Amino acid sequence: MNRRQFINKSAALIAVSSLADQDMFAVSKLNKGRIGIQLYSVREELPKDFEGTLKKLSAMGYSSVEPYGFNGDKFLNRITMKELSIMVKDMGMTISGTHCSSRLLPENTNAPEWDFWKKLADSLKSGGGEWAIQSSLPGSARTMDDLKRIVAHFNRSGEVCKKGGVKFAFHNHYEVFSMIENEIVMDYLIKNTDPRLVFFQLDLGHTVHGDADCIRYVRDFPERIPLWHASDWDTARQEPVEVGKGNVPYQALFDLPKAGLKQLTVEQETGGDIFATCKNCFDYLKQFKWTKVL
């Protein structure tokens, strides 16, 4: 099952789920830390108990949430961004932004697709979120013409988002570290998009999975990479692992003197007890000076 199919299935399950409030989980009324979580991490749990799952994350100490698969109207066809912001505020959290996706746009700048970004910006802003994040490449990237179209897509999306009061960013997967005509796809996107309109959320685990150097990207493009996805990858076993248990050089990354990090968000695609995993990831990250309580 691919990610899109999973999102649709989750939405259907949520629609028929009875969501009980679990008072057993103590909730901090004000989480002041700097570690957020991508809700795709708990995609299996949200359909079972939406509010209870969020309360567990808050009790761990997470200060913000980042929804996924947002269609510009409701998260998982269940709750608007404004409603979600009210819900998580009562749990001591905020919405940092959301993952979303749109197809590769035609050259017609009046195409209905642009209405998606306008609507999404309005919805995101209503919930206090700042970042509208394209979750993956909007179409194939096999030729230089493909890359040029993607650059145009990102620039235009960034322009629409900026007018709507939010910021546009792109979240990478491992495939963007492949080469096209002697150009690394990720580097081409960073160097050829408008730095005033387009930012990047560097998924650290996917970067290592793509045999790329996390430190180089964070060091060389600090103004372009204000967002990190805290994930990890074990290169020996070739699988995702908990943060701090793979080959992402977290200590070296946090020690960089000129990193432009503004939002740190955990994302986990591991199996097993996901709540224990999310807690372990949080506990690992809270050791660093950057993540300390403000």
Task: Residue 245: name the closest of 255, 256, 253, 237 by CA.
Answer: 237
d(Cα 168, Cα 19) in Å, to the nearest integer? Answer: 32
Query: Which of the pair, 127 or 115, is modelled with greater confidence?
Result: 127
Predicted local confidence at residue 117, as pLDDT: 87
Predicted local confidence at residue 270, as pLDDT: 94
**Residue 108: CATH number of its domain:** 3.20.20.150
Phi and psi (nearest 5°) for 132?
-100, 110
d(Cα 28, Cα 114) in Å, to the nearest integer? Answer: 39
Query: Which of the pair, 59 or 292, is modelled with greater confidence?
Result: 59
**Minimum mean pLDDT range among 122-126, 137-141, 217-221:** 137-141
Q: Would you state the structure tokens that stand for residue 124, as one six-digit string?
A: 């995101």
d(Cα 261, Cα 254) in Å, to the nearest integer? Answer: 9
Predicted local confidence at residue 70, as pLDDT: 86
**Strand 227-230 relative to strand 198-203, pairing:** parallel
Domain count, the chain: 1
pLDDT digits (tens, 9 = 90+) for 171-210: 999 999 999 999 999 999 999 999 999 999 999 999 999 9
Q: Does 145 have pLDDT greater than 90?
A: yes
What's the whole-number mean pLDDT along residues 214-221? 97
d(Cα 209, Cα 21) in Å, to the nearest integer? Answer: 38
Residue 88's domain comprises 3-291
Q: Does 19 have pLDDT greater than 60?
A: no
- Average of per-residue pLDDT values in the chain: 88
**Minimum mean pLDDT range among 74-78, 81-85, 147-151:** 74-78
Predicted local confidence at residue 110, as pLDDT: 60
- Helices (H) and strands (E) counted in the chain, each on its own, are 10, 15
Using an 8 Å Cβ cutoff, are 98 and 69 in contact? no
Predicted local confidence at residue 148, as pLDDT: 93
What's the whole-number mean pLDDT along residues 20-39? 64
d(Cα 113, Cα 116) in Å, to the nearest integer? Answer: 5
Q: Return all residues near 77 (Cβ < 8 A) that are at least 6 apart.
A: 11, 14, 15, 71
Q: Distances in Å between the alpha carbon of 206 and those of 24, 86, 131, 228?
A: 36, 32, 20, 11
